[in-house]
């Protein structure tokens, strides 16, 4: 009986994930102000704990829920995990566990969904220490791992957003002067996105000076 109830629960959560994931693909983002910041933070903390302490089957479900609840924009990332107005955000001290150890390493999320989310967060962003740095680290690894999927998602964005995405990608305390070989190959995938990437990289280098 207990096992049956567990299976029913998992199926229910999976269905919920599919519905919310569809909204994410369609471009809908639930406004952060629809619930209190504290409630959002509490839910993320609970899901992190459940995803790291539950059985393998249940953990998969909780990780999917964590992915859904994770910020969808750069401003939301700062509001929850950043350091704002000389004080830490509500989840500032959870950043390493939530982002570096969990979110960056989620491997049970559909690739297209995952890349759409991280690209959405990166647009309008800028480098910062701690949580933002953790997120940028994971973003860079994903982009280098699959530049084709990155370009596939970016091609439907405006040139302003594409350039903003690349600016965040290259931004940092000490930005690298050379673009790695994996990204230079984008020239043969989409020349327009390649040109915008080069422009963004040059803007980052100018800013660093």
Rounded Cα distance, 145 and 165, in Å: 17
E-strand stretches of the chain: 83-84, 87-88
- Rounded CA-CA distance 44/75 in Å is 17
Q: How many angstroms separate the CA atoms of 130 and 100, rounded?
A: 10
Query: pLDDT 10s per residue in the chain (209 long)?
Result: 444 444 444 444 444 454 455 444 444 454 455 467 899 999 999 999 999 999 999 999 999 999 999 999 999 999 999 998 889 999 999 999 999 999 999 999 999 999 999 999 999 999 999 999 999 999 999 999 999 999 999 999 999 999 999 999 999 999 999 999 999 999 999 999 999 999 999 999 999 76
- Number of structural domains in the chain: 1
Q: Torsion angle, CA of 139/45/93/53, rounded to 10 degrees?
A: -80
Dihedral pair phi/psi, residue 61, rounded to 5°: -65, -45
Q: What pTM was computed for the model?
A: 0.84
Q: Which domain holds residue 64?
A: 2-24+33-208
Q: Which of 153, 147, 146, 159 is nearest to 195 (CA)?
A: 159
- In this prediction, residue 20 carries a pLDDT of 53
Q: How far apart are CA 20 and CA 61, in angstroms?
A: 13
């Amino acid at each position: 009986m207990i096992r049956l109830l567990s299976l029913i629960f998992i199926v229910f959560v999976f269905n919920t994930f599919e519905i919310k994931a569809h909204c994410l693909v369609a471009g809908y983002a639930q406004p952060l102000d629809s619930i209190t910041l504290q409630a959002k933070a509490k839910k993320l903390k609970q899901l992190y704990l459940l995803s790291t302490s539950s059985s393998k089957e249940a953990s998969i479900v909780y990780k999917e829920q964590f992915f859904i609840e994770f910020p969808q924009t750069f401003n939301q990332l700062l509001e929850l995990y950043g350091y704002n107005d000389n004080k830490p955000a509500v989840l500032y001290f959870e950043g390493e566990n939530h982002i570096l150890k969990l979110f960056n390493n989620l491997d049970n999320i559909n690739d297209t969904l995952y890349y759409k989310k991280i690209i959405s967060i990166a647009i309008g962003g800028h480098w910062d220490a701690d949580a933002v740095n953790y997120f940028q680290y994971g973003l860079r690894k994903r982009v280098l791992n699959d530049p084709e999927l990155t370009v596939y998602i970016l091609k439907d964005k405006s040139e302003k957003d594409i350039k903003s995405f690349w600016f965040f990608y290259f931004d940092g305390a000490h930005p690298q002067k050379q673009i790695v070989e994996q990204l230079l190959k984008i020239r043969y995938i989409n020349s327009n996105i390649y040109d915008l990437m080069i422009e963004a990289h040059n803007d980052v280098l100018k800013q660093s000076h």
